[in-house]
Amino acid sequence: MNVRIEHDTMGEIAVPADHLWGAQTQRSLEHFKIGTEKMPDALILAFAQLKKAASVANHNLNKLSAAKQAAIAQACDEIIAGQWADEFPLSLWQTGSGTQTNMNMNEVIAYRANQLTSETIHPNDDVNMSQSSNDTFPTAMHIAAYAEIQSSLLPVVAQMQAVMLQKQAQYQQLVKIGRTHLQDATPLTFGQEISGWEAMLSMSMHQINESAQHLLALAIGGTAVGTGLNAHPLFGAKVAQQLSVQTGYPFVSADNKFHALTSHDGLVYAHGAIKGLAANALKIANDIRLLASGPRSGIGELQLPANEPGSSIMPGKVNPTQAEALTMVSVQVMGNDAAIGFAASQGNFELNVYKPVIIYNFLQSVGLLTDALRSFNVNCLVGMEAIPSRMDELVQQSLMLVTALNPQIGYEKAAKIAKAAFVNNCSLKEAAIASGDVTPAQYEQWIDPLKMVNLQTSTTEGEETNGN
C-alpha cells in the first residue's frame, strides 16, 4: 500500500496515499478498532453543511480570506454531494465528544481545499476556525436529527395517514364486533376502529414536530466550554443564519451555550416523541395481524396482501410479515430510547461525552421507522381488505350485543340472558326470548348493531341503513 507521511502534535504517521484524511484520522483508525458501527452518513453530511456555513461566517467576519472560504465551501459541497463518502471511516466507538470525527472532517476538507487553491489551508487553523469539537459535534447532531425527521420520517407518516383516512371512509359503515381485554365487547364500525389508528399517527406527528423544534437551537459559538473562547461574539448567530440559508430549516444560535454543550435534553425529548410513534406503530401492527389471524382458525376479519411464502415446511402458508417487521423495529426504537436517555444523563461538568452513541441511536431510530413504516404502508396497509361476511358472522355470534338490553330490562336481567346463551350454547336471541323478559319483536327493535355504534348518518325517513 502506498503511503504518505502526515504529522500532528503527536508526531509523524503513515497515511494511505489514496485517501484525503490526515494524521488524527489515521490515529483514530488504528486505536479504535471497535465494532462495525460507523458515524452515520446523515451526521457526516450535517458536518459538511456546518463547516461550509462556518467558512462563510468567518469570511463575513473578516477572519478567512475569500480564496480559502471558496475552496473550503467547494470541498464541503463535494462531500454533501457524496463524492468523498469513503473518506469518513471512523468507528462510532471513539472519543465521547466526537473530536476524531470533527478532525476527520477538518482534514478531508483541508486536503481537498488545498487542491483547489494556491493558499495553504490548515485543518485546525482554517477549517476549524472559531470552533471546537465540543460545539461542532452537538451542532451537527441537531442538524442531522432535525433534517432526517423533516425530510424522511414525517413525510412517510403522512403517507400512511392518507391511506388510513381512505380506509376509514371506505369502511365507515361496516359493522364489526369490538374487543376489550381480548374479549368480545360492543360493536363499532371498522372505519371507527381505523380512525383510532389514524388519530395515533396524527398525535405522533404533532408531538414529533413539536419536540423537534428544540433541535433548531445550535451549540455552535460555544467552543470548548460554552464561553465562546477564540470565536467572534457574532459567530454562532451568523453560522446558524447561514445554515438556514443552506438547508431551508430555521436554525438559531442557542441562547445558553453551556446548556448546549453539556445537555442533550432536546434530543431526549425529540426521541421520546419518536418512541411514542414506535409504540403506536407496534399497537397498530399487532391489531392488524391479530385481526387477520387465521385464515380459518383465527379471527379472520382482514385479508392482508400475500407477499411471499410464509413457511419452509407448510405449503401455502402466508404470514403477516410486514407487521412483524414493524413490531421488531418498534422494539429496537424503544431500546434506543433507553440508551439515549441514559447517555444524556452523563453530562459531567461542562461537557457530555456520550455524544456519538446518542446520535447513532437517534438516527437509527429515525431511519428504521422511516423504512419500516414505508414498507408496512406500501406492502400491507394499502392492500389490506376487510372481510364483511366474517365481521357480520362474529357480530351476530357476540353475546355482548346484550348491552343494548340494559336500558330496556336492566343490567341484572340482561346479564342472566347472556350467561344463559353461553351455558346453553344458543343464540342471544333464543336466550332472550326464553327468559320471558323480551319478545321477538322487541329483540328485533332493541338489538340493532348499527344503532349501537353511535354512527352519525343522515338517512331519509323510513330508510333503513345496511351496515354491511
Q: What is the DSSP letter of 226?
A: S
> For 61-103, what is each residue's pLDDT tens digit?
999 999 999 999 999 999 999 999 999 999 999 999 999 999 9
The span from the CA of 386 to the CA of 467, in Å, is 13
The answer to whether 76 and 333 are in contact (CB under 8 A) is: no
Q: Is 123 annotated as a binding residue?
A: yes
Q: Who has greater pLDDT, 52 or 464?
A: 52
What is the per-residue pLDDT for 1? Answer: 84
pTM metric for this prediction: 0.95
413 and 326 both lie in a single domain: no
Query: What is the residue-averaged pLDDT of the chain?
Result: 96
What is the per-residue pLDDT for 58? Answer: 98
What is the per-residue pLDDT for 467? Answer: 43
Q: Is 97 annotated as a binding residue?
A: yes
Q: Give 237's contacts (C-beta < 8 A, 6+ positions apart).
A: 221, 252, 253
What nine digits make up the cell of 276?
Answer: 411514542
Helices (H), 115-253: 133-148, 154-170, 190-212, 235-247
Q: Is 312 annotated as a binding residue?
A: yes
Whether residue 342 is predicted with pLDDT greater than 90 in this model: the reply is yes
Provide the β-strand partners of residue 184: 179
CATH of the domain at 293: 1.20.200.10
Query: Which residue range forms the structural domain that includes residue 410?
Result: 399-451
Whether residue 456 is predicted with pLDDT greater than 90 in this model: the reply is no
3-state DSSP assignment of residue 123: helix
113 and 259 both lie in a single domain: no
Domain finish residue from 101, 129, 157: 129
Q: Which residues of 370-393 are buried (b: 16+ CB within 10 A; e: fewer)?
A: bbbbbbbbbbbbeebebbbebbbe
> For 262-313, what is each residue's pLDDT tens digit?
999 999 999 999 999 999 999 999 999 999 999 999 999 999 999 999 999 9
206 and 120 both lie in a single domain: no
> For 202-213, what is each residue's pLDDT tens digit?
999 999 999 999
Q: Supply φ then ψ for residue 13, to 5 degrees.
A: -155, 145
51 and 111 both lie in a single domain: yes
Residue 181 designated active-site: yes
* pLDDT tier, 112 (very low <50, low <70, confident <90, very high otherwise): very high
**Ramachandran category for residue 2: left, alpha or beta (phi over 0 → left; psi -120 to 50 → alpha):** beta
- For residue 92, count CB atoms less than 10 angstroms from its CB and return exposed for 0-12, middle for 13-18, buried for 19 or more: buried
Q: Is 186 annotated as a binding residue?
A: no
Whether residue 464 is predicted with pLDDT greater than 50 in this model: the reply is no
Q: Which of 296, 281, 292 is nearest to 331 (CA)?
A: 281
* 467 lies in some domain: no
| Percent of the chain predicted with pLDDT > 70 | 97
Q: Is 98 annotated as a binding residue?
A: yes
140 and 257 both lie in a single domain: yes
**Chain-centre distance for alpha carbon 61:** 38
350 and 267 both lie in a single domain: yes
107 and 25 both lie in a single domain: yes
99 and 117 both lie in a single domain: yes
| Percent of the chain predicted with pLDDT > 90 | 97
CATH of the domain at 408: 1.10.40.30
What is the per-residue pLDDT for 368? Answer: 98
* pLDDT tier, 455 (very low <50, low <70, confident <90, very high otherwise): confident
The span from the CA of 46 to the CA of 138, in Å, is 11
What nine digits make up the cell of 344?
Answer: 444524556
113 and 22 both lie in a single domain: yes
Whether residue 156 is predicted with pLDDT greater than 90 in this model: the reply is yes
What is the per-residue pLDDT for 466? Answer: 42
Q: β-strands 302-303, 252-253: how paired?
A: unpaired
Q: Which entry of 181, 293, 330, 398 is annotated as an active-site residue? A: 181
Q: β-strands 3-8, 11-16: how paired?
A: antiparallel
Domain finish residue from 388, 408, 425: 388
Reported in sequence order, the residue ranges of 230-354 that DSSP labels E, i.e. its strands, are 252-253, 302-303, 347-348, 351-352
Q: Which entry of 7, 311, 389, 427 is annotated as an active-site residue? A: 311
* pLDDT tier, 324 (very low <50, low <70, confident <90, very high otherwise): very high
Q: Is 345 annotated as a binding residue?
A: no
Q: How many domains does the chain have?
A: 3
235 and 376 both lie in a single domain: yes
405 and 359 both lie in a single domain: no
The span from the CA of 442 to the CA of 331, in Å, is 50
186 and 257 both lie in a single domain: yes
Q: Is 125 annotated as a binding residue?
A: yes
What is the per-residue pLDDT for 463? Answer: 41
Q: β-strands 347-348, 302-303: how paired?
A: unpaired
Residue 214 designated active-site: no
* 167 lies in some domain: yes
Q: Is 318 annotated as a binding residue?
A: yes
